[in-house]
Amino acid sequence: MGAFQSSDAHNHPSTDAFDLTLDVTVAEGALPPRYETPSASQFSIYANESVAVDGCDWVSVRTGLSFGLPFMLVLLVRDAGLDWEVQSQVLDYDATEELVVRVRRPATRNGVGDLTRIVSGTRVAVGLLLPIARPAFHLYQPRTGEGEAV
């Protein structure tokens, strides 16, 4: 599929309906990534363990997923909605470790002192696959009013 080409993504049960297939290592008991709707561009990522969240403290949540990304693609991981605040992160194409997301109760809620749980199987984040460019940098020195480099 090109940048100016599209197709109907509804009712396609096979992987032939997708533009790319990613290698994803799924730990025992972990839920694989899943598109919530047939036309979604981002996919859901689920907790692979239950963790306690004290107030608005940040907690690390294991997903049980390791992504094998192709060269020049990255995975943007971000909030899944209003339930949890997620520290956005970018997973580079050379990353091999398990994806761990940092999650907390949204700071807008008054959760000080409240204890809650994220249970295994809870949607905690969404992932969006993005192409990247790695530009070279042309470095220069700013010039003074007399035209000389500083």
Q: Is residue 27 situated within a structural domain?
A: yes
| CATH code at position 112 | 2.70.40.10
> What's the chain's Rg over C-alpha atoms?
20
The residue type at 67: F
Spell out the residues 6+ positions from residue 24 whose beta carbon is closer than 8 angstroms to its own: 32, 33, 65, 66, 67, 68
141: its two tokens: 């020195």
Q: Is residue 5 part of a domain?
A: no
Residues spanned by the domain of 40:
19-131
Query: How do the pLDDT tens digits run along the chain, 150 residues long?
Result: 444 344 444 444 555 578 889 999 999 999 999 999 988 999 999 999 999 998 888 999 999 999 999 999 999 999 988 788 999 999 999 999 999 999 998 876 565 667 889 999 999 999 999 999 988 999 998 877 766 655
Count up the domains in the chain and report the number.
Answer: 1
Note whether residue 143 is domain-resident: no
CB 27 within 8 A of CB 55: no
Residue 122: which residues within 8 A CB-CB, separation 6 or more?
46, 47
